[in-house]
Structure 1
Amino acid sequence: MEITVLQFIWFILLFVLLGGYAMLDGFDLGIGVWHLWARAEDRRSLLDAIRPVWDGNEVWLLTAGGAMFAAFPPVYASVFSGLYLALTLLLVGLIARASAVEFRDKEEAPSWRRFWDVCFAAGSIVPALLLGVAMGNILRGLPLDASGNFTGSFFSLLNPYALLCGLLGLAVIAAHGALYAVLRTPAPLAIRARRWARLALQAALLLFGLAAAVTILTQRHLLTNYDRLPVLWAVPLATALALSGAAAYNRRDKARPAFAASCAGVLGLLATAAVGLFPTLVPASNNAALSLTAANSSSSELTLRIMFIFALVGMPIVIGYNVWAYRLWATQQKGTSRDY
């Protein structure tokens, strides 16, 4: 297998891992977005809906980071140095969320629970927003020097396009979480979650259309593959249809198809970004020649080959375990309150 083929495979696998994280931990984060909107007596039900699976879902993010480090070391160095503060805030948010899941129900005192409720909500909203902002900056491009080092500032990352992507990501994650809550919480709360999902999906569709228009007008480098192979426009179109389908199914109170369509929409967003970027992983906004691509930033052929063998063995096991775990969890009574 030639190195160019391996580079292509690892480019795809990196986005598969990111997509798996966005789809699985996305509904965990989405539950947290709505946590403070829920009535006090319903917040336990929201936490119980994700308690058995949330920690396993985060493994996908760790695996994606590990794959980036091993397969594309210069990309890992550039992204993690350039987005250092944002990723630190992301880590703080995830730690706050994890702590809230574990500690909220240890005490009955209202002040104790309010504190952890705020931590859980903030630890879900901030990562969801920052992940979108980070992806927006990657799509837009980062200022890089000849060594691939980030030369901008933290505030340069808070540009309008990245913030728009952040709001889009937050809206999609909020809808995803609300639709999961419809599936996994008791009827009174599930009815309210349907309303949350309707609002979030309306915002997501509006922001997706706005982001598409802004991308076409201002980020022409992301359209090269679409212009070269017009059939690829089916990817963003399918994404829009998936989000629209989630909204339609939600209106008709069809929870499972709505959540499945939401999953497709989340994956579609990552696929749309991957198609726009390929073969570039980090575009250089100051000079296209300095961009980090799958070809100029990959590890050696031997490293990629060994990693691919491990992936062939490990990925089916991970996916099979996830399918088994979710099927087992799905057989349990909806809204059951338990300690795990």
Structure 2
Amino acid sequence: METILGLDLPTWWFLVIGGLITGYGVLDGFDLGAGSLHLFFNKEESRRLVLNAIGPVWDGNEVWLVIAGGALFAGFPLVYGVILSTFYIPFMLFLVALIFRAISIEFRSKEPWTWWRKMWDISYTVSSTAITLLLGLVLGNLIHGLPLNSQHEFTGNLLTFFNPYAILIAFTTLSLFMLHGAIYLVMKTENRLYAKLTVLVNNCSKFFILCFILTSMATLIYIPHMTHQFKDHPQLFILPMIAVFTLLNIKRNIDSRRYFTAFFYSCIITSCLLILFAVGLYPNIVLSTTDPANSISIYDAASSTKSLKIMLLIAAIGTPLVIGYSIFVFWTFRGKVKLTDMSY
């Protein structure tokens, strides 16, 4: 099989898709976390401030999800078909939640009525929380494995998705995004809202630490296949060590009120957890709990070599442009949030 820099093309595409999903988790993660925390703010001015903190960037951050979906379809069409058909109902709910999050942000400020704004505030929080929980639920089931037959068809039902491990991953994702979002908001606000957020950040960090410990224990005890790569390649133990080190540094920087550094570390731990997920699955993408032979690996699902080479070139050109755009937007809207006539 043809290789580039020592890696075969399916592995390269596995890394590209993993990088895009990680970019989405890091960037849209704090948007979703901020949305989940929205109803904790009681005053109208506070809600407008936290909404405008993510206002210039939330839609651009979703681009990473669109590109990741396109890359999965292009690189591993079999996996794309299996995942979307298996998680049809969760993904439909996910799309509905995405729509309501967008219209909640855009419609809220269109009328001055209190009931109108409260309705969209509730919609914004519910949709943001639903998106996060659904993402975690899908991730948890991919880690746990799915009942697939020899034709890679899902043989379970809707209740299959709600296994204890997947639910735990869903709430761990929610706790991570809430922490990520709270740190971002505290960097963007000042005065009384800043003081309120310092308390909220501390509480979110405790919530995430608890979920992190529970998830780590559950994975080691009940999901043994996630440790195989680490047993075969002991050098990979650096990844969980980095995750623990990063978690400790998030807490230390929060206590010292160095929130920019804490946000950097929350980006690192989001990336690190997704990398651990990818390492645990590789070379598989979808695991079968019915029979390991029914699992789908990157080699089973990859497109033709010619297609992968052409698309990898396109990805090499397009991804830096998306990264550059994201950096430009964040740099343009840096600093504390100020309300103007043009604000949400």
SS of 2:285's partner is strand
Q: 1:323, 1:243 → 2: CA distance?
A: 25
Q: 2:171, 2:27 → 1: CA distance?
A: 19
| Contact 1:186–1:335 (CA under 8 A) maintained in structure 2 | no
| Structure 1 residue aligned with 2:100 | 96
| Structure 2 residue aligned with 1:8 | 11
| Contact 1:7–1:298 (CA under 8 A) maintained in structure 2 | yes
Alignment RMSD (CA, Å): 1.3
Q: CA deviation at 1:153?
A: 0.8
Q: 1:300, 1:307 → 2: CA distance?
A: 11
| Structure 1 residue aligned with 2:28 | 25
| Structure 2 residue aligned with 1:216 | 220
Stretch deviating more after TM superposition (114-123 or 317-326): 317-326
| Structure 2 residue aligned with 1:139 | 143
Q: 1:11-43: per-residue Cα shift (whole Å, max 9, x none)?
A: 011111111001000010011111001123210
Q: 2:315, 2:91 → 1: CA distance?
A: 26
Residue identity matched to 1:49: A
2:289 counterpart of 1:293: no
Stretch deviating more after TM superposition (56-65 or 202-211): 202-211
Q: 2:336, 2:29 → 1: CA distance?
A: 22
Q: 1:127-166: per-residue Cα shift (whole Å, max 9, x none)?
A: 1111111100000001111121211111110000000000
Q: 2:337, 2:317 → 1: CA distance?
A: 34
What is the number of equivalent residue pairs in this alignment? 339
Identity across aligned pairs (percent)?
Answer: 37
2:35 counterpart of 1:58: no
Gaps of 5+ in 1: none
Return the match for 1:157 from 144, 155, 161: 161
Q: 1:252, 1:191 → 2: CA distance?
A: 14
Q: CA deviation at 1:241?
A: 2.0
| Contact 1:96–1:123 (CA under 8 A) maintained in structure 2 | yes
Q: CA deviation at 1:110?
A: 0.6
| Structure 2 residue aligned with 1:37 | 40
Aligned pairs (5 A) from 1:1-340: 2=2, 5-41=8-44, 42-330=46-334, 332-337=335-340, 338-339=342-343
| Contact 1:33–1:121 (CA under 8 A) maintained in structure 2 | yes
Q: 2:15, 2:101 → 1: CA distance?
A: 30
| Contact 1:201–1:243 (CA under 8 A) maintained in structure 2 | no
Q: 2:152, 2:195 → 1: CA distance?
A: 50
Q: 1:181-222: per-residue Cα shift (whole Å, max 9, x none)?
A: 011122321221222221111121121111111111111111
Residue identity matched to 1:177: G
Q: 1:61-98: per-residue Cα shift (whole Å, max 9, x none)?
A: 11111111110011111111111111111111111110
SS of 2:8's partner is helix
Residue identity matched to 1:334: V
| Contact 2:20–2:65 (CA under 8 A) maintained in structure 1 | yes
Q: 1:228-270: per-residue Cα shift (whole Å, max 9, x none)?
A: 1122122122122222211211111111001111111111110
Q: 1:199, 1:89 → 2: CA distance?
A: 29
Question: TM-score, normalized by length of structure 1?
Answer: 0.97
Gaps of 5+ in 2: none
Stretch deviating more after TM superposition (236-245 or 120-129): 236-245
Q: 1:162-188: per-residue Cα shift (whole Å, max 9, x none)?
A: 000001000000000000001112232
Residue identity matched to 1:77: G
SS of 2:155's partner is coil
| Contact 2:11–2:298 (CA under 8 A) maintained in structure 1 | yes
Residue identity matched to 2:129: I
Question: TM-score, normalized by length of structure 2?
Answer: 0.96
Runs of 4+ in 1 over 2 A off after TM superposition: 332-340
Q: CA deviation at 1:333?
A: 4.4
| Contact 2:100–2:127 (CA under 8 A) maintained in structure 1 | yes
